[in-house]
Amino acid sequence: MSHPAPAGEGRRFSMLRDFIDSESSGGLVLMGAAALALLVANSPLAPAYFDALHAPLGGLDLLHWINDGLMAVFFLFVGLEIKREVLDGQLSTWSRRTLPGVAALGGMVVPAAIYLTLNWDDPVAARGWAVPAATDIAFALGVLSLLGPRVPASLKVFLAALAIIDDLGAVLIIALFYTADVAVGALVGAAAVLAALITLNRMRVHLLAPYLLLGALLWFLVLQSGVHATLAGVALAFTIPLRSAPARPDDRNSPLHKLEHGLAPWVAFLVVPMFGFANAGVSLTGVGLSDLLSPVPLGVVGGLFIGKQLGVFGFCWVAVRAGLAELPAHASWTQLFGVALLCGIGFTMSLFIGLLAFADPDLQDQVKIGVLAGSLVAGLSGWLVLRLAKPQPLAVAGRPAGTQELEAGI
């Protein structure tokens, strides 16, 4: 028997639906941008493409502005998503965090282990261990959107929550393992600006302008400090107030909701596609099977395609069998396996970590080849499994009250 959702639930689920819809559409645009980049990089336009990316512009070249500047906006958006979901969304309770959290952990540990197994004897190559540990939510949800109603809404929620936890893991990895030499003075200045942002939050300042102005200063100081500038976006996001009033945590008029919804279309349809177009372009001239089987790209492909499905699906299976979690509502094990395959699409964050891990352009190209190949195989395999999987009936006996409401809200 269906029960009315608690006050505020429908609003939160509608927000998640909006997020999934925007990410799905953005994923399709990202696919087109990546394909266009590969086409241009292997056409007579290739010299102009690469020259434009390295053209100087205000002290940085265009590629650095995209990777350090625009991607800071992407990380700001990711940080807003993480904060909202943890405090007031699908990750707000331990029961909701368990299955996507376990899946995200498996999806990071197993791919990294596979990569390191194939590159343990080369300290330089081993720096790329985190490349296959990331999931690209826009790409993965874009593939899910092609399947329409064949995929239950609960699986889309599961994938979105998994990817948000995965993004948090990637942010921590970047901060801990991919930080260059630190300039102490700039870092102290960044800490002071961050303290000012926290003070604004504690004083319940709800105007976005002061946060954004201090956020721009924070980005500049972090850029100068040697810590990757995109982390300034995450730090800024965590200081943006979630509530416009103490009793209204789900109020769409809160600063966080306003900023998140304002950024969503720009991130989905401009920032991420521009990053994909700027970084997916790799010349395939002379590239053969032997290049794909070298340790770095092989480790990336193995981590994304084999590691993700083993880690995500395997950890979920153990959690469900142990009684720690339940399958998403109306989803079968086959469908969950298909989603685990889609988690092997690591495009945006994987490419980004690869750029941080390796300064050598040849190794960066090897990462790109591995990410493109692994993501393509994982995406096609996941789509095929989900396409052939038999949809579950809408009513499943024994489901706890609330699962149907969750799907109705999406």
Q: Which tens digit of pLDDT belongs to each residue from 44-68? A: 999 999 999 989 888 788 988 998 8
Pull the structure tokens for residue 369: 């080849």
Q: Using CA atoms, how far apart are residues 17 and 89, in angstroms rounded to an integer?
A: 12
Q: What is the DSSP string of 239-266?
A: HS-S-SSTT-TT-TTSHHHHHHHHHHHH
Q: Using CA atoms, how far apart are residues 339 and 316, in angstroms rounded to an integer?
A: 11
Pull the structure tokens for residue 28: 């399709």
Name every residue whose Cβ is closer than 8 Å to that of residue 34 and which is 6 or more positions away in sequence.
276, 277, 280, 347, 372
- Whether 195 has a pLDDT exceeding 90, the answer reads yes
Specify whether the CB–CB gap between 409 and 5 falls below 8 A: yes
- Which comes out higher in pLDDT, residue 117 or 170? 117
Q: Which residue has the tokens 């480790």?
A: 299
Pull the structure tokens for residue 205: 């300042």
Pull the structure tokens for residue 339: 């989603």
Q: Using CA atoms, how far apart are residues 257 and 382, in angstroms rounded to an integer?
A: 32
Task: Produce one character per residue of 292-310: b if its CB has 16 or more CB atoms within 10 Å, e if not.
Answer: beebbbbbbbbbbbbbbbb
- Whether 399 has a pLDDT exceeding 60, the answer reads no
* pLDDT of 246: 56
Q: Is the dihedral of CA 18, 24, 29, 34 positive or negative?
A: positive
Q: What are phi and psi of 78, to 5 degrees?
A: -60, -45
* pLDDT of 144: 80
* 254: alpha, beta or left? (left if phi > 0; alpha if psi -120 to 50): beta
Q: Using CA atoms, how far apart are residues 136 and 142, in angstroms rounded to an integer?
A: 10
249, 243, 256: which is closest to 6 by C-alpha?
Answer: 249
What secondary structure letter does DSSP report for 352?
A: H
- Which comes out higher in pLDDT, residue 175 or 216? 216
Give the bridge partners for 387, in sequence order: none
Average pLDDT, rounded, for the chain: 83
Name every residue whose Cβ is closer than 8 Å to that of residue 342 and which is 6 or more positions away in sequence.
140, 143, 144, 159, 378, 379, 382, 383, 386
- Which comes out higher in pLDDT, residue 176 or 210? 210
- Whether 298 has a pLDDT exceeding 90, the answer reads yes
Pull the structure tokens for residue 9: 């639930």
pTM for this entry: 0.76
Q: Which residue has the tokens 């997020």?
A: 19
Specify whether the CB–CB gap between 220 and 61 falls below 8 A: no
Confidence of residue 3 (pLDDT cuts 50, 70, 90): very low
pLDDT tens for each residue of 66-96 = 988 898 998 899 889 888 888 877 677 787 7
- Whether 250 has a pLDDT exceeding 50, the answer reads yes
- Which comes out higher in pLDDT, residue 12 or 83? 83
* pLDDT of 367: 92
Pull the structure tokens for residue 36: 């266009």
Pull the structure tokens for residue 3: 């029960």
* pLDDT of 39: 92
Specify whether the CB–CB gap between 233 and 75 falls below 8 A: yes
Cα dist from 130 to 97, 121, 158, 348, 389, whole Å: 22, 16, 22, 13, 31
- Whether 17 has a pLDDT exceeding 70, the answer reads no
Q: Which residue has the tokens 């720690």?
A: 324
* pLDDT of 328: 86
Specify whether the CB–CB gap between 331 and 154 falls below 8 A: yes
Q: Across residues 99-123, what is the average pLDDT?
A: 95
Q: Which residue has the tokens 């056409």?
A: 43
Residue 56, classed as helix, strand or coil, is: strand
211, 215, 207, 199: which is closest to 244 by C-alpha?
Answer: 207
* pLDDT of 73: 92
